[in-house]
């Protein structure tokens, strides 16, 4: 049996399914992954240099300009069929949740109802000093030139600089996000890990935790990222193509016990 056939069989029997996603699921929506080269002013930086509190302290305008540019890129993008596969699967009566490392909102816009954002979100900034969430005025949220350095707006309460509410390198995950992810991962029948290189910790441990809890793990990636476990399946190809094939094979099959 091919891994696709085994994956179909595992999904047929599954009641609880978790999608665990990384930048690769949004690549076909035109949002670059971290392994894609940065362009313009940023090409001399790598994300580890832009995505840290110390980079923001040293050069807030550089980091804020990059953040506004990424927000703009996301607002111009649309969810692709891989994002739609989670709500599509939920229509069969299965319990479906998404745990994402992505900071875009394409899962939300595809209509997913249960989403855990492990690394925060680009949609709303917060104060670097007092950590309170903040809203941008229309003028502050205007589309930047690619590569522009833009002084971050100030917090209305403490006058601190605003920063993106995303998790930078060496920062903790948002309160409650990891706990909620663990509840979902340890209780699922199948975990579908899509478009993640598995290097950013602790998120990268999620497939192993699912395997240890007895789930089947289906990886979807352009390259082989499996760990060699017996309940692991590797589907190589573009997320949109592989997930459409997988979903087409079970879409008429209701969750076990719900036919």
Q: How many residues bind ligand NAD (CB under 6 A)?
A: 26
121 in Cβ contact with 159 (< 8 Å): no
User: With helix as H, strand as E and coil as C, how does 4-40 read?
Assistant: HHHHHHHHHHCCEEEEEECCHHHHCCCCCCCCCCCCH
Q: Pick from ligand NAD, Zn ion, none: which does 61 bind, CB < 5 to 8 A by kind?
A: none
Residue from 216, 221, 232, 255 touching ligand NAD (CB under 6 A): that is 221
Residue from 18, 195, 217, 233 touching ligand NAD (CB under 6 A): that is 195
160 binds Zn ion (CB under 5 A): yes
Q: Pick from Zn ion, ligand NAD, none: which does 26 bind, CB < 5 to 8 A by kind?
A: ligand NAD
| Of 72, 119, 131, 219, catalytic | 119
**What is the CB neighbour count within 10 angstroms for residue 200?**
16
Q: Pick from Zn ion, ligand NAD, none: which does 155 bind, CB < 5 to 8 A by kind?
A: Zn ion
Would you list the DSSP string of 51-111? SSHHHHHH-HHHHHHHHHHHHHHHHT----HHHHHHHHHHTTT-EEEEEE---S-HHHHTT
- Residue 128 CB, shortest distance to Zn ion, in Å, is 8
Q: How many residues bind Zn ion (CB under 5 A)?
A: 7
| 116-135 residues near Zn ion, rule: CB under 5 A | 127, 129-130
| 97-116 residues near ligand NAD, rule: CB under 6 A | 101-104
Span interacting with Zn ion, options 8-16, 23-31, 48-56, 148-156, rule CB under 5 A: 148-156
Q: Pick from Zn ion, ligand NAD, none: which does 120 bind, CB < 5 to 8 A by kind?
A: none
**What is the CB neighbour count within 10 angstroms for residue 179?**
10
Exposed e or buried b per residue across 203-235, where buried means at least 16 C-beta atoms within 10 angstroms of its C-beta: beebbebbbeeebbbbbbbeeebbeeeeebbbb
For ligand NAD, the closer of residues 125 and 155 by Cβ is 125
Q: Which long-range contacts (C-beta less than 8 Å, at least 24 apart) are formed by 226-233? A: 232/207, 233/3, 233/6, 233/7, 233/10
User: Active-site residue 131, yes or no?
Assistant: no
Residues forming the site for ligand NAD (CB under 6 A): 22-24, 26-28, 31, 33-35, 101-104, 119, 195-197, 199-200, 220-223, 238-239
So which residues are the catalytic ones?
Answer: 119
């Amino acid at each position: 049996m091919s891994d696709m056939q085994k994956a179909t069989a595992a999904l047929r029997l599954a009641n609880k399914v978790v999608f665990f996603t990384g930048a690769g699921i949004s690549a076909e929506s035109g949002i670059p992954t971290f392994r894609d080269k940065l362009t313009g002013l940023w090409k001399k930086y790598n994300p580890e240099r832009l995505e840290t509190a110390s980079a923001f302290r040293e050069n807030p305008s550089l980091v804020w300009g990059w953040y506004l540019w990424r927000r703009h890129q996301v607002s111009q993008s649309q969810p692709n069929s891989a994002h739609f596969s989670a709500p599509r699967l939920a229509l069969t009566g299965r319990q479906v949740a998404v745990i994402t490392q992505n900071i875009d909102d394409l899962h939300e816009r595809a209509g997913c109802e249960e989403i855990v954002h492990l690394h925060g979100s680009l949609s709303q900034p917060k104060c670097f000093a007092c950590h309170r969430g903040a809203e941008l005025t229309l003028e502050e949220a205007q589309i930047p030139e690619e590569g522009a350095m833009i002084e971050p707006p100030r917090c209305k309460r403490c006058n601190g600089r605003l920063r993106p509410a995303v998790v930078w390198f060496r920062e903790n995950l948002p309160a409650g996000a990891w706990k909620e992810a663990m509840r979902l991962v340890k209780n699922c029948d199948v975990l579908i890990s899509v478009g993640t290189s598995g290097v950013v910790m602790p998120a990268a441990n999620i497939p192993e935790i699912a395997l240890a809890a007895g789930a089947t793990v289906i990886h979807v990636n352009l390259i082989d990222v499996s760990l060699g476990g017996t309940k692991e399946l590797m589907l190589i190809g573009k997320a949109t193509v592989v997930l459409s094939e997988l979903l087409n094979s079970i879409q008429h099959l209701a969750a076990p016990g719900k036919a």
